[in-house]
C-alpha cells in the first residue's frame, strides 16, 4: 500500500476499466476516506475512454478524439483543473461493495434484446413483449 500522503494526485494512463479498478482499490484501503479525496487524473489510453472524453467535453475545450484527446487531456492535467465527481456505491448480495463512476448497467437489457429475437416478427413491439416475458421469469 503506497503512502498517498506523499502524492499530490494519481494520474492513470488507461481506459475506463483500469480507473474502475483503481477507485475500487482505493476504497478497500484502511484509509479509504482520505484515499478517495486524492485527485485522480486520467489520460485516455483505452479503447473507449468515456470518462476522459466526458471530462474533456465539460472542460469547455473544443471536441477532439484519438491522439488529440490524449494531448488535450494532458494539457488539462497540467493546468491542475479539478472537478469533484459523485461515485455510485453498490452493495451486492454477497456482501461485497463496488463503486461506479461512469455508468451502471444491469444485464436485464441485454437479456431482453437477445431473448426477444423469437418475437422479431412483431416489429418494435418485440421489445415490449420480450420485457414482459423477461420480467415474469426473473432469476433471483
- Which residue stretches of the chain are H helix? 16-26, 32-35, 50-58, 67-79, 108-115, 125-136
Mean pLDDT (whole number) for 80-86 = 84
Q: Report how many helices (DSSP H) and strands (DSSP E) the chain contains, helices first.
A: 6, 4
Alpha carbon 63 to its chain centroid, in Å, reads 20
What confidence tier does 118 reach under pLDDT thresholds 50, 70, 90? very high
Same-domain status, 53 and 122: no
pTM: 0.69
Q: Which residue among 16, 68, 86, 113 is the active-site one?
A: 16
Same-domain status, 83 and 132: no
Same-domain status, 94 and 55: yes
- 8 is an active site residue: no
Neighbouring CB atoms inside 10 A of 26's CB total 19
Same-domain status, 11 and 43: yes
Mean pLDDT (whole number) for 126-135 = 92
**DSSP letters of 120-139?**
GGGTTHHHHHHHHHHHHT--
Same-domain status, 126 and 67: no
The number of folded domains in the chain is 2
Q: Determine phi and psi for 80, rounding to 5 degrees.
A: 75, 25
Give the structural domain span for 79.
4-100
Amino acid at each position: 500500500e503506497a503512502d498517498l500522503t506523499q502524492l499530490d494526485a494519481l494520474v492513470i494512463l488507461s481506459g475506463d476499466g483500469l480507473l474502475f479498478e483503481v477507485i475500487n482499490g482505493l476504497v478497500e484501503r484502511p484509509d479509504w476516506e482520505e484515499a478517495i479525496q486524492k485527485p485522480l487524473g486520467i489520460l485516455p489510453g483505452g479503447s473507449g475512454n468515456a470518462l476522459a472524453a466526458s471530462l474533456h467535453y465539460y472542460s469547455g475545450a473544443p471536441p477532439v478524439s484519438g491522439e488529440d484527446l490524449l494531448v488535450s487531456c494532458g494539457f488539462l492535467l497540467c493546468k491542475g483543473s479539478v472537478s469533484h465527481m459523485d461515485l455510485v456505491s453498490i452493495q451486492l448480495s454477497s456482501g461485497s461493495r463496488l463503486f461506479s463512476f461512469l455508468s451502471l448497467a444491469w444485464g436485464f437489457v441485454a437479456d431482453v434484446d437477445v431473448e426477444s429475437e423469437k418475437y422479431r416478427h412483431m416489429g418494435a413491439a418485440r421489445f415490449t413483449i420480450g420485457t414482459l416475458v423477461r420480467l415474469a421469469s426473473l432469476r433471483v
